[in-house]
Chain A
């Protein structure tokens, strides 16, 4: 059973960089699969942020592309999200998930709330 767990600061100041990590257990990232980040502002819908393949190839939502960096650390079996120049509009629950080409986001972390405020 694949398990994912997000971690990182719950409060980020405006204009700073949001950094989150997703630790994966029950599966070796280097074995394959895609991995993704999704966010959900309070009371709103889901927004795909970006995805990364185990090889390191990255794919980003065009609306966030200029501010997003996703990376993978196979030695620690985890992948990370950095979102720069944050504003209050980036306040959301951030989820990490495993992404299958054939089926979609099949395993999810529990999510972590990140608030952007001074």
Chain B
């Protein structure tokens, strides 16, 4: 099984800050990685797929990078609506999938 490890588990940041979240796979997954945003009481929302492709309608301040085992999600200038929990998900073994443990972005 492919394990996904996110870090940090939480981060405190201010509006306007640049925020970077890391996701590491237990084995190489090429670029088969997606990122999701989840707000309290809501279903997750797909932000990025194939490691760096922005889902339609997602603001350009979100970006993803990486391949192999190490990936990052970057929010270039944090906005009030970006405070949420973010999850990575591998699809290298599609349709057998694994989510990371999540990273909560909190207000500083």
Contacts of B83 in A (CB 8 A): none
Question: How many A residues touch B, CB cutoff 8 Å?
Answer: 26
Given A45-B101, A46-B102, A104 and B46 touching (CB < 8 A)?
yes
- Knowing A46-B87, A110-B43, the reply to whether A105 touches B101 (Cβ < 8 A) is no
Nearest to A104 among chain B residues (CB) is B34
Contact count A vs B, C-beta below 8 Å: 65
A32 and B79 CA atoms in complex are apart in Å by 37
What are the interface flags for A29-73 relative to B under an 8 Å C-beta threshold, 1 for contact and 0 otherwise?
000001010100000011110010100000101100000000000
Q: What residues on A are CB-neighbors of B97 within 8 Å? A: 36, 48, 51, 99
Report B's interface with A, CB cutoff 8 A: 1, 34, 36, 38, 42-46, 49-50, 53, 55, 87, 89, 91, 94-102
A46-B99, A95-B44 given. 19 additional CB < 8 A pairs?
A36-B97, A46-B36, A46-B87, A46-B102, A48-B97, A48-B98, A95-B43, A97-B43, A99-B95, A101-B91, A101-B94, A103-B34, A103-B46, A104-B34, A104-B49, A104-B89, A106-B55, A108-B45, A111-B43
**Residues of A with Cβ closer than 8 Å to B?**
34, 36, 38, 45-48, 51, 53, 59, 61-62, 95, 97, 99-106, 108-111
